[in-house]
Amino acid sequence: MNKPELITQTKLAFNYIQKLYFEVSYLIKEMEGLLLEETEEFVIGRASGYAVTARSSNGLDSALVNLWMYKKLAVFFIPKADTHLVKGQTITHFEDNPKILYLRIVLDDKDIPEPSIYYGVLKDFKKKKTLPEKIEQLMTNIEYNENKVFSDYGNIDYADTSVSFKGKLARANLFDINTSEDIVKKLITPGLKHFREE
């Protein structure tokens, strides 16, 4: 490949990734709006403001370079009555025995055939130490311990020295979600059914 082709391919690659990130953000925002209309009035969990949770790095070690771009993103939704919004962040205490709708988008991973969305419920949170103080602080920990937390998406039973929780997530192909109807049919309806049955 000559230099002009390399320049063009680089621009196309970054343009495509940026468009993919925008589409994922639109999907999350649409889910947020639809879930707010439900009886529970779900709000998006705000660990550090209005953002997704992702594992990242800017390190130069080869294992860390792999984390320069977000490949896995997560958000959670919680009934409005089960959290408090303070200075742009939600505060959800372990002691209130919260149950959350969890959404994890995996854009690339060696274990999946195509970009996927994992959705479902996380519950039975129990804190063993002073920290973390709230569920929102746990979200980054989940991403950094993904291999232990998500060894079985269908039956999550995680415990470490700080916290334990359980859950169950189902999977949908990201590129099969193209319309609002798809979001409702393939993500929200089954997710809410599971949430309300638990």
Span 126-143, mean pLDDT?
Answer: 90
Encode pLDDT of 39-85 as tens digits.
999 999 998 889 999 998 999 999 899 899 999 999 999 999 999 99
- Residue 58's alpha-carbon distances to 39, 65, 66, 82, 115, in angstroms, are 42, 7, 9, 35, 23
Q: What is the number of other CB atoms lying within 10 angstroms of the CB of residue 111?
A: 7
Asked if residue 133 lies in contact with residue 96, where contact means CB atoms within 8 angstroms, the answer is no
CA distance linking residue 47 with residue 30, whole number of Å = 19
Residue 114 has pLDDT above 90, yes or no: yes
- For 51, the token pair is 């953002």
> Closest Cα partner for 93 from 152, 142, 133, 151?
133
Which residues, listed in sequence order, are joined to residue 92 by a DSSP beta bridge? none
What integer pLDDT is reported at residue 78 of this predicted model? 97
Chain CA centroid to CA 111, Å: 17
> Closest Cα partner for 171 from 110, 118, 122, 92?
118
Encode pLDDT of 143-178 as tens digits.
999 999 999 999 999 999 999 999 999 999 999 999
